[in-house]
Each structure stands twice: as C-alpha cells, then as structure tokens.
Structure 1
Amino acid sequence: MNTTPMPRFGLVLIGDELLNGRKQDAHLAAMITRFDERGLELSWVRTIADDGELITQTLTQTFAGPDVVFSFGGIGATPDDLTRQCAAAALGVVTVLHREAEAEIRSRLGSRLNPLHLRMGEFPVGSRIIPNPINGIPGFAIHRHHFVPGFPRMAWPMVEWVLDHDYADYQAPNRTVSQTLVLTDTSEGPLIPLMELLLTEYPDLRLACLPHADGRREVELSLKGDPEHVVAGMRRLRVLLRELTG
C-alpha cells in the first residue's frame, strides 16, 4: 500500500439537465459504492451547468489544489460539450488532436468517420487517454483530473479503470469500517459533551450524529475508521452512555 498521504477525491458533475430536473444524477451513488469497495471515499462533489465560464472557473480552482478529481459530462462533439476546451483554458494550454485518441476513434468508426468525430479526441496538451470499453471514444486525464462522459454505462467502467490503474496503491478494502448505534428517547443536545470526550480519546475516528427530524426522539451515532479503533471506540461509547444515564 502507498505510504504517501491519502489524497482527497472529488466529483464534478456537469450538465444543465442535472440542475433543471430533466435528469436525476446517478453518478454520486454509483461512485460511493465503487470507492467504498476499494477502501476509498469521496470528500466533495460539485454540480454545475453547461456554462463555459463556470466550468473554467471551477476547474481553475480544482487544478490549483492537490485533490484527485473525476469530471462527468461535456466531452462530446456537440456545441454544448465544453469541458475539453474549459479544461485547456483553466490550464492555459490549447487542445490538440491526441494521437492515441485519434487512433482509437478511427479504429472504432472506420468508414463512418467524419471530422466531427475527431473533435472528441481533441484534448488539452499533455493529456493521457482513458479507455472507453463501450464505444471506444476515450476520455482524458491530465494531472490528477480525469474526464469521462456523462453516460453512466460508459463513465462508470472508465472511472473503475482509472482507480485500478492510477490509484491501486491507495486501495485497501476493509481499511475502514463503520458502526452505528441507534439511541431512542433522546436528542443530540445531551450527547454533545459525550461526543466531544470520545473524539478527544479517539481523534482518528470519524463521528457522525444524525437526529431524526420526523418527530421521533431518536439519534443515530456512527463511528468510522480503523476496524480495531472503531470496536474500541464503540465499547467506550457504550460506557459513556451508561454513565450518562446513570
């Protein structure tokens, strides 16, 4: 396993249809599952419109940071597919027809090829291709950013390929576990000192408190982290709860 610090992973979801209700996003739930299977987790997600200025602004910000980013959508050949050009603008480079992408597209389309198809192989200078197992039209990666289509059938196996090809050293299934206690007849207020104490004793654990908002006096307390620490933290949590209730 890689000894360098675990990077943060984020998603950029691009498309007017996600914001005007024409389509419901399916990527986030699918990515949570795929990351969890590999002992990885997402830190953030942004959903933005097909707005060139906004896409460029967003990518300028994310390129400036250390996070690993997966961007979904906007890499086709139609006028509203702006992601390739915006990624180039954010990096201050131009797009060029990528030699490997061109070969993939020509091989897949054969006699049906036209110049518009080759637009989908124009990537920012310095890009690497991401294989597309469905239709052979590749995505692209540059620095720690990875750009895939918005179509789930294509995008999801492409993300899996990137995770297993570029970030395999960070993967550790069962690296972390999560356990949850459901507490009845209480609210989160009386539990705050208890939670603060627990985190001082187990600072490497992630604690989540989820009160119910449907009128029930019920709170879920979850701990996530190293399996042994979660077990010990849960044991300590139960002791603290017994002390609280007398």
Structure 2
Amino acid sequence: MTFGLIIIGDEILSGRRHDKHMAKVIELLAARGHALAWARYIGDERPQITAALKDALASGDIVFSCGGIGATPDDHTRQCAAAASGRPLALHPEAKRLIEERMRDVAIEQGVPFEPDRADNVHRLNMGVFPEGAELIPNPYNKIPGFSLGDVHFVPGFPVMAHPMIEWLLDHRYGHLKPVAHAERALYVKGSMEATLTPLMEHIEATFAGVRVFSLPSVDHPQRGRHIELGVKGEPASVDAAFVALQAGLRALPSVEFGTE
C-alpha cells in the first residue's frame, strides 16, 4: 500500500517551528521495508484542511495526519475530519474515560482534588470529540488518544506523542504488510549536462521494467564540485542490470567522467 503524510499547522509554514515529522516517518517506514510516497503541508485553514482530508480518505492510501487535534481555537483537524468524512462529531466514550483518567492523574501529581465538573476539565473533554465511528490510537505519553478513520490516522503535532503513535499503527495495524522490495544504485558524473544525459535516462527506463532513473545535479559541492549524481532505483532484480547498462551508456559519451566515489 502507499503511505502518505499530512502535516498541519501555521507554525510550520511560518518557520516558528521546524517540521520533525517527515524525516521520522521516513525512518519508521524504512525500518519496516516501506517508503513514504507523498507529503502535504497545510496551514490552519479549515477549507484547505478539509479538502486535503477528503483527498486522503478517497485515496485508499495509508495516511498519517499530524497536528490540530487539540481543543484550542487554532485546532481544526477534528472538525475538518468530520466534514471530510460526512460524519457528525461526538464524544467518544473510551476517549472520555482516558481523558478523565489523565486529568485524575494530574490532580494526584499536583496534590489537589479531581474536579471533573470544573470548566477547564469539561473543556478538555473536547479532545475526545471525534467523527462518529472513529477508532482510537493509544497515546503512551499522556493517554489522550488520537483517532483513525479507516486508513487515515490523526495524531497530535507534538513529535514526542505523534511518533510513538505512528510506530504503534505501523506495528499493530500494518505489521502484516510485506516489505516492498527496493534497490538503489548511483554514481557521480562530471563533464556532462542533464540535457545530454536525458536520452540515456529515457532509454534505461524504457528498457528495464520497474526501474526509475534519478538525476541530482550539484553546482557547488565542497568536495566534488560541479557534478551530477545519477542513479537507478526500483525492483532489485532489474536494478543491477540497469546500472550496468547506465555505465555502458556513459562510457559511450565523449568527455564524460564517472565513478562511485
């Protein structure tokens, strides 16, 4: 299955916070033999969030959505998930129990009575108001859960909470998925331009099914100077043969130098 990632929050787009989700999700997926296919960054605008979640729900992909599931005025993800799925919002009974358990734990830590009817505690229950039929995602950090609608999963924006929750999903919901066989080989090319290499790249992709060619030019590398990192990736059975053909094609070009170091 295809994995996608949605990261929500004005603070990411403004630079007030640096995104830590994408690199970690790539790492978690790679450790299990999977790869991230796409990612979207969205600000705290309900129409944009709702549209992105509609796309995610319709995609058939496994999607992790990070951020905006709290209960402050700048948190919109729960409401947008309800609008995108066409489901009403309702307080999830188990989420209510977990949130109250967390509030009770905090009261004990602070040495004060637990007052469930106090206005701020009643407000905290909004963190358990999810689209009807949602499944809970356990939160080992503070017990306040995330939720899932099918294969679209909603976790907090805090990495310390979100990353263990995503890891739990990968192991408990998707541990049965077989790793995707994948190989990648690359070399460094000097003395050529991408336009000159394009016919060779197109030939490789046309000749070897399941193989994609990538080209990553650099103009000011501190060690290699101007060069192109050129490579092939895809099904392991085809990648080795494609890499041999790539090297043969480079040898046939005038004034081209290449190597793996």
| TM-score (norm. length: structure 1) | 0.90
* Residues 1:212 and 2:218 are matched in the alignment: yes
- Could you tell me which runs of 5 or more consecutive residues in structure 1 were left unpaired when the two chains were aligned: 1-6
> Using the alignment, how far apart are the partners of 1:185 and 1:77 within structure 2?
57
Q: CA deviation at 1:112?
A: 6.2
Among 186, 189, 199, the residue aligned to 2:192: 186
**Partner SS, residue 210 of structure 1:** strand
Q: Deviations over 1:63-105 (max 9, x none)?
A: 2222221111011111111100110011111111112212222
* Residues 1:71 and 2:77 are matched in the alignment: no
**Partner SS, residue 65 of structure 2:** strand
Among 160, 163, 173, the residue aligned to 2:170: 163
Tell me the residue number matched to 2:127.
120
Q: CA deviation at 1:245?
A: 4.0
> Using the alignment, how far apart are the partners of 2:55 and 2:239 within structure 1?
35
> Using the alignment, how far apart are the partners of 2:115 and 2:149 within structure 1?
29
| TM-score (norm. length: structure 2) | 0.86
Q: Which amino acid aligns with 2:219?
A: A
Q: Is the contact made by 2:135 and 2:147 (CA closer than 8 Å) also made in structure 1?
A: yes
Q: Is the contact made by 1:186 and 1:217 (CA closer than 8 Å) also made in structure 2?
A: no
> Using the alignment, how far apart are the partners of 1:217 and 1:26 within structure 2?
30
Q: CA deviation at 1:222?
A: 2.0
* Residues 1:237 and 2:246 are matched in the alignment: yes
* Residues 1:44 and 2:38 are matched in the alignment: yes
Matched positions, count: 239
Q: Deviations over 1:149-191 (max 9, x none)?
A: 0000100111111111122222427x21222111112211211
> Using the alignment, how far apart are the partners of 1:35 and 1:77 within structure 2?
30
Structure 1 residues 112 and 16: CA distance shift in structure 2, 3 A: farther
* Residues 1:200 and 2:206 are matched in the alignment: yes
The structure that has the greater radius of gyration is: 2
* Residues 1:105 and 2:111 are matched in the alignment: no
> Using the alignment, how far apart are the partners of 2:182 and 2:103 within structure 1?
44
Q: Which amino acid aligns with 1:71?
A: S
Percent identity reads 46
Q: Is the contact made by 2:209 and 2:238 (CA closer than 8 Å) also made in structure 1?
A: no
Q: Deviations over 1:14-67 (max 9, x none)?
A: 111111121111111111111111111112111111112221122122222222
**RMSD of equivalent CA atoms:** 1.8
Q: Is the contact made by 1:187 and 1:217 (CA closer than 8 Å) also made in structure 2?
A: no
> Using the alignment, how far apart are the partners of 1:112 and 1:34 within structure 2?
40
Among 148, 153, 158, the residue aligned to 1:146: 153
Among 205, 220, 236, the residue aligned to 1:227: 236
**Structure 1 stretches (4+) deviating beyond 6 angstroms?**
none
> Using the alignment, how far apart are the partners of 1:190 and 1:47 within structure 2?
35
Q: CA deviation at 1:208?
A: 0.9
Q: Deviations over 1:190-222 (max 9, x none)?
A: 111111111112120122111113394411112
Relative to structure 2, which stretch is displaced further, 212-221 or 193-202?
Answer: 212-221
